[in-house]
Amino acid sequence: MSLRELAKRHLPYPAKQGFKYIYSAILPRFRYDKVFWDTYHFLQKSQWWSREKLEEYQMQQLSTLGIPLGFCWEKGVTDSKEHAFIMMLWNRVGFKIGDRCVILRG
């Protein structure tokens, strides 16, 4: 279990806020695990694939699931993959890993 997951589950709210501040100061290459970086680099590469290549990849991956339209949750891996997808979406609109950001809540 990653440090981020431990903090998310076990710390009280005020401690979580302090942890977020400290955690954000860690360089991205140390902050994210291997699963995140593998997924992130794969997404960067695959966004330029042709339609045929995408369909081939989808058929290859879907044929190995065995559960039609099932959702797979892999402990310790799913959070990192999901985070990589979210970062890739932000990357498309100009936000880069390591950029400072402001979170506005109302």
**Residues of the domain holding 53:** 34-106
Q: Are 26 and 47 members of one domain? A: no
Q: Do residues 20 and 64 both lie within one domain? A: no
* pTM listed for this prediction: 0.52
Q: Are residues 39 and 88 in the same domain?
A: yes
CA 48 – CA 30 distance, rounded (Å): 27
Instruction: Please indicate, yes or no, whether residues 11 and 45 belong to a single structural domain of this protein.
Output: no
Query: Do 11 and 57 fall into the same domain?
Result: no
Q: List, for residues 17-74, the tens digit of each pLDDT value.
A: 887 777 777 777 788 888 889 999 999 999 999 999 998 988 888 776 665 554 566 6
Q: Assess whether 18 and 50 both reside in one domain.
A: no
Burial class (CB in 10 A: 0-12, 13-18, 19+), 83: middle
Indicate the residue type of 1.
Answer: M
Q: Is residue 52 domain-shared with residue 63, that is, in the same domain?
A: yes
pLDDT in tens, 89-105: 888 888 887 777 777 77
Task: Say whether both 48 and 97 belong to one domain.
Answer: yes
Whether 105 and 61 map to the same domain: the answer is yes
How many structural domains comprise the chain? 2
